[in-house]
Amino acid sequence: MPKISACIISFNEEKKIEDCLKSLQSVVDEIIVVDSLSSDNTVKIAELYTDKIFHQKFLGHIEQKNLAIEKASHDWILSLDCDERLSEQLQQSILTIKDNLARADAYQMPRKTFYIYRWLNHCWYPDLKTRLFNRNTSYWGGTNPHDHIITNGNNIVRLKGDIYHYSFDSISDHLKTIDSFTEIGASEIVRKNKTVTVFTPVTHASWTFFKLYLFKLGFLDGFAGFVVSALSYMHVFIKYSKAYIKYRQIKNKPATDK
């Protein structure tokens, strides 16, 4: 039977990491944790489940997750964030195919989000994620902080069961993440020299709101669906606004005296 390494990155996740690790115990053969120098009890909790804990100053979401893969002993990788866990149905789905993992290039699964006080059944669902893969043919890529698995192959099988995502405990938590992620995202836009005009923040943000609230039926998620759609609008608007401002700052930077 092929063996699976679970790969987790962490930073000050003492409230959520234990449930994540518990959900992995019956499925994987080892657990790798790469911690970004947490100052809370994250590492102490992780030590109850694994002795393979590595300390690394945060390099970036993509870089940190690829580092965790490098630390694994096995080629098949199951990757979760600390605020995620496997549902019982998903655990069973993985165990069912574990003897024959090589029949696919990678495996994807829907992610269901618990937002502050309720499950989101529409605007952020099914949110398919590739999280079980062979590291010889797959790796973390994308644009920080929105990473995703890139697989050299087309045979990606969807498993039954959900990843449960316990995202934000409050609107304040969501706003803090927006501020942090938009700064990273804006810097990546500038680094890659992507085009941003004065209209980009509004057009991209408006599309995000309508996509979530109307096309994905976010209004059926009640007030939580409206909040998620509105804050997603804000996220995109702020990211592209920060990028536009960064470009203007570069362009208008005063010449230094010689």
Q: What is the CATH number of the domain that holds 128?
A: 3.90.550.10
Tell me what the mean pLDDT of segment 100-120 comes to.
97
Looking at per-residue confidence, does 77 or 256 come out higher? 77
Same domain, 138 and 201: no
Tell me what the mean pLDDT of segment 162-177 comes to.
97
pLDDT(32) > 80: yes
Same domain, 145 and 179: no
Tell me what the mean pLDDT of segment 221-230 comes to.
98
pLDDT(256) > 70: no
pLDDT given for residue 202 in this prediction: 98
Structural domain count, the chain: 2
pLDDT(255) > 90: no
Residues 72-92: tens digit of each pLDDT: 999 999 999 999 999 999 999
pLDDT(1) > 80: no
pLDDT given for residue 258 in this prediction: 44
Percentage of the chain modeled with pLDDT above 90: 94
Rg value, the chain, Cα = 20
3-state SS record for the chain? CCCEEEEEEECCCCCCHHHHHHHHCCCCCEEEEEECCCCCCHHHHHCCCCCCEEECCCCCHHHHHHHHHHHCCCCEEEEEECCEEECHHHHHHHHHHHHHHHHCCEEEECEEEEECCEECCCCCCCCCEEEEEECCCEEEEEECCEEEEEECCCCEEECCCCEEEECCCCHHHHHHHHHHHHHHHHHHHHHCCCCCCCCHHHHHHHHHHHHHHHHCCHHHHHHHHHHHHHHHHHHHHHHHHHHHHHHHHHHCCCCCCC
- Which residue reads 């990678």 in tokens? 106
Tell me what the mean pLDDT of segment 131-150 comes to.
94
Distance CA 60, CA 28 (A): 25
Tell me what the mean pLDDT of segment 141-167 comes to.
94
Distance CA 44, CA 41 (A): 5
pLDDT(254) > 80: no
Whether 257 maps to a domain, the answer reads no
> Whole-prediction pTM value?
0.92
Same domain, 42 and 144: yes
Same domain, 38 and 107: yes
Same domain, 65 and 126: yes
pLDDT given for residue 79 in this prediction: 98
Q: What's the domain range around 160? A: 4-166
Tell me what the mean pLDDT of segment 38-66 comes to.
97
Q: State the chain's mean pLDDT as an integer.
A: 96
pLDDT given for residue 253 in this prediction: 82
Which residue, among 216, 63, 72, has the nearest Cα to 145 in the 3D structure? 63
Handedness of CA 188, 56, 81, 45 (dihedral sign): negative
Q: Are 173 and 122 in contact (CB under 8 A)?
A: no
Q: Which band of pLDDT confidence, cut at 50, 70 and 90, is reported for residue 154?
A: confident
Same domain, 154 and 188: no
Whether 193 maps to a domain, the answer reads yes
